[in-house]
Amino acid sequence: MNARDQLIDRLRRRDPRGALERALYVDPQIYQVELEEIWYKEWLFAGHDCELKSPGSFLTVQVGEYPVVVLRDRDGGLRAFHNSCRHRGSRICTTEHGSAPRLVCPYHQWTYALDGRLIAARDMDGGFDKTRYSLKSVHCASVGGYVWICLAPVAPDFEPLRRQLEPYFLPHHLHRTKVAFECTIVEEANWKLVWENNRECYHCAGNHPELCRTFPEEPVITGVSGGFANPRIAAKWARWESIGLESQYRLSADGQCRTVRYPLIEGATCYTMDGRAAVRRPLSDAVTEPDVGTLLLFHFPTTWNHVMADHATTFRLLPLSPTRTQLTTKWLVHEDAVEGVDYDLKRLTEVWMATNDEDRRVCQENQIGVNSPAYEPGPYSDVHEAGCRQFLDWYGTRLRQRLEAGAP
Ligand code: FES
Ligand SMILES: [Fe+2]
């Protein structure tokens, strides 16, 4: 049996009551199949519209083996390209962020317009046809301030994601924000362990003293059932929907994407040490109510998010190897908010900086234990870990569908 057939078999035999077997967290061949069938085929969160405000501004992202550049073109549109020169393949844009009127390859200076056309290639012979060497494009779309890319030749329909996100995100005007701070860390853990950790708060009381000041540990928050029966949540939803903020729990039919607005601990409006807003100027001119809870979005496999009245904290996860995962966190504030006047950077970032580091440590310890040949998966807590089960159900189903569709 080849690696793909073996993986189909493993996924068919998977026990959904607990975590995965060891091979799915450590095996390089399985990781490669995940890259090909999930990471190279799904819509992935790359960055924010606000990072690409003017023509020529770009950001780069590395998805598995693919370097990609996302940019704002001359007409104000967003485009993404394979960040690999059509001459001899060099990476063209080498920084995470930048701005350039044209893309110039650093190796031999082949030069591309912002629409990907090759416009200059020095000393190539007379028969050389520039039109045959445009940059290869990557699907790119944006909704609610979030820019997405898809590496597949034919991308999944983007419209369901657009329809789900717009009512929740448009009032927050994320396209009119700026990144006040960003931080990238590497976790020595498989990307699915990072997700499982994110999808439960069973570990919060024992590991997150800063987050627990404001984040309710109620299992409903990470769970999969919404919170319709919780009177406190129902009252908040009614209030927020009366001011035009979509709030009720929504899980996409395939389980890939959840949007919901939840209240923080009573009296808290923000993930700060005292629970009060970190930014004096509201994030959006259209949302002036100070307590709109936290708008939660997850979209597998790249992102989870918290949007509050005063700022947003967004997370982007990318796999680096079977046992290494990169996590980039960005704090968005109103584009006119001024550091030192409207917000203090330490106060804005300290809770999630600490929480990320605590999560990094628990995920790394998890990986070390899972590496042991003695590891066998134990059962999830029904009360606290329904979110992990939901994530792995999505993962297992999606991967199986793709593998079975491609099997002879
Ligand atoms: S590889 Fe880019 S110009 Fe030669
Ligand atoms: Fe955590």
CATH no. for residue 69? 2.102.10.10
**Any ligand 1 atom below 6 A from CB of 178:** no
Of 136, 112, 109, 135, the closest CA to residue 123 belongs to: 109
Q: How far apart are CA 155 and CA 287, in angstroms?
A: 34
From the CA of 110, the nearest ligand is 1
Cα(39) to ligand 1 centroid in Å equals 27
List alpha helices for 312-385, DSSP H.
345-370
Name the token pair of 81.
């390209």
Same-domain check for residues 206 and 146: no
- Whether 41 and 402 have beta carbons less than 8 Å apart is answered as yes
Ligand nearest to the CA of 118: 1
Domain co-membership, 180 together with 304: yes
Apex CA 126: angle with CA 121 and CA 128, to 5°?
Answer: 50
Q: Is 112 in the pocket of ligand 1 (CB under 6 A)?
A: no
Same domain, 92 and 179: no
Does the Cβ of 93 fall within 6 Å of ligand 1?
no
Verify whether ligand 1 is closer than 6 Å to residue 8 (CB atom): no
Which pairing describes strands 312-321 and 177-187: parallel, antiparallel, or unpaired?
A: unpaired
Neighbours of 131 (CB within 10 A): 7
Tokens 């450590």, residue located:
26
Kindly state if the Cβ of 105 falls inside 6 Å of ligand 1. Answer: yes
Whether residues 91 and 55 share a domain: the answer is yes
- List pLDDT tens digits, range 90-103: 999 999 999 999 99
CATH number, domain with residue 176? 3.90.380.10
- Last residue of a domain, which of 150, 176, 198? 150
Nearest atom, ligand 1, residue 92 CA: 2
Put simply, whether the predicted model's pTM sits higher than 0.85 gets the answer yes
- Report if residue 392 sits inside a domain: no
Q: Could you give the CA distance from residue 124 to residue 351 in angstroms, rounded to a whole number?
A: 55
With a 6 Å cutoff on the Cβ, whether 107 touches ligand 1 is yes
In a domain, 117, yes or no: yes
3-state class (DSSP) for residue 377: coil
Q: Ligand 2 centroid vs 366 CA: distance in angstroms? A: 13
- The Å distance, Cα 184 to ligand 1 centre, comes to 29
For residue 279, what are the domain limits?
Answer: 162-370
Name the residue with the closest Cα to ligand 1, atom 4: 108
Q: Sign of torsion, CA 167 212 228 266?
A: negative
- Strand, coil or helix: what is 108? coil
Question: Which pLDDT does position 408 carry in this prediction?
Answer: 66
CA 122 – CA 109 distance, rounded (Å):
8
Show the tokens assigned to 94.
């080498």
Q: What is the full per-residue pLDDT of the chain (408 aa) written as tens digits?
A: 788 999 999 999 999 999 999 999 999 999 999 999 999 999 999 999 999 999 999 999 999 999 999 999 999 999 999 999 999 999 999 999 999 999 999 999 999 999 999 999 999 988 999 999 999 999 999 999 999 999 999 999 999 999 999 999 999 999 999 999 999 999 999 999 999 999 999 999 999 999 999 998 778 877 777 788 889 999 999 999 999 999 999 999 999 999 999 999 999 999 999 999 999 999 999 999 999 999 999 999 999 999 999 999 999 999 999 999 999 999 999 999 999 999 999 999 999 999 999 999 999 999 999 999 999 999 999 999 999 999 999 999 999 999 999 876
Nearest ligand, CA of residue 209? 2
Contacts 24+ apart (CB under 8 A), 234-239: 236/261, 236/262, 236/263, 236/293, 237/261
Torsion angles phi and psi, residue 112, rounded to 5: -115, 140
The answer to the question of residue 25 being in a domain is no
Q: Which of 81, 87, 130, 133 to mutate to test the pocket of ligand 1 (most atoms within 8 A of CB)?
A: 87
In a domain, 207, yes or no: yes
Neighbouring residues of the ion ligand 2, judged by CB less than 5 Å: 359
Position 278 scores a pLDDT of 98
399 domain-assigned: no
Q: Which residues of 181-205 are buried (b: 16+ CB within 10 A; e: fewer)?
A: bbeeeebbbbbbbbbbbbbbbbbbe
Residues 170 and 52 both lie in one domain: no
Nearest Cα neighbor of 327 from 181, 179, 182, 174 is 182
189 and 304 together in one domain = yes
Q: Which atom of ligand 1 is nearest to the CA of 85?
A: 2
* Cβ within 8 Å of residue 185, ≥6 positions away: 326, 327, 329, 356, 357, 360
The last residue of a domain, from among 129, 150, 171: 150
| Distance spanning both ends of the chain, measured CA to CA | 12
Q: How are beta strands 137-143 and 66-72 bridged, if at all?
A: unpaired
Which of 69, 83, 90 most suits a substitution to test ligand 1, by most atoms within 8 Å of the C-beta? 90
Any atom of ligand 1 within 6 Å of the Cβ of 133 = no
Based on the fold, state whether residues 126 and 208 are members of the same structural domain. no
The answer to whether 86 and 130 have CB atoms below 8 angstroms apart is no
- Separation of CA 118 and ligand 1 centre (Å): 11
The C-alpha angle with vertex 61 and arms to 58 and 62, in degrees rounded to 5, equals 150
16 in any annotated domain: no
99 and 180 co-located in one domain? no
**Pocket flag, ligand 1, residue 85 (CB < 6 Å):** yes
Give residue 228's pLDDT. 83
Residues 204 and 325 in one domain: yes
Distance (Å) from CA 357 to ligand 2 centroid: 9
Query: Which ligand approaches the C-alpha of residue 387 most closely?
Result: 2
Cβ of 120 closer than 6 Å to ligand 1, yes or no, is no
Q: Supply the angle between the helices 191-198 and 345-370 in degrees, to the nearest 10.
A: 120
Residue 155 placed within a domain: no
Query: At 47, which amino acid appears?
Result: G
Residues 132/41/69/123 CA torsion (nearest 10 deg) = -20
- Within a domain: 102: yes
The pLDDT, as a whole number, for residue 126 is 83
Domain check: are 134 and 199 in the same one? no
Domain total in the chain: 2
Task: Locate the ligand 1 atom nearest the alpha carbon of residue 121 and give its number.
Answer: 3
The protein residue with its alpha carbon nearest to ligand 1, atom 3, reads: 108
Question: Are 74 and 173 contained in the same domain?
Answer: no
- Hey, whose CA ends up nearest to atom 1 of ligand 1? 88
Q: Clarify whether residues 141 and 168 are in a common domain.
A: no
Amino acid (1-letter code) at residue 14: R
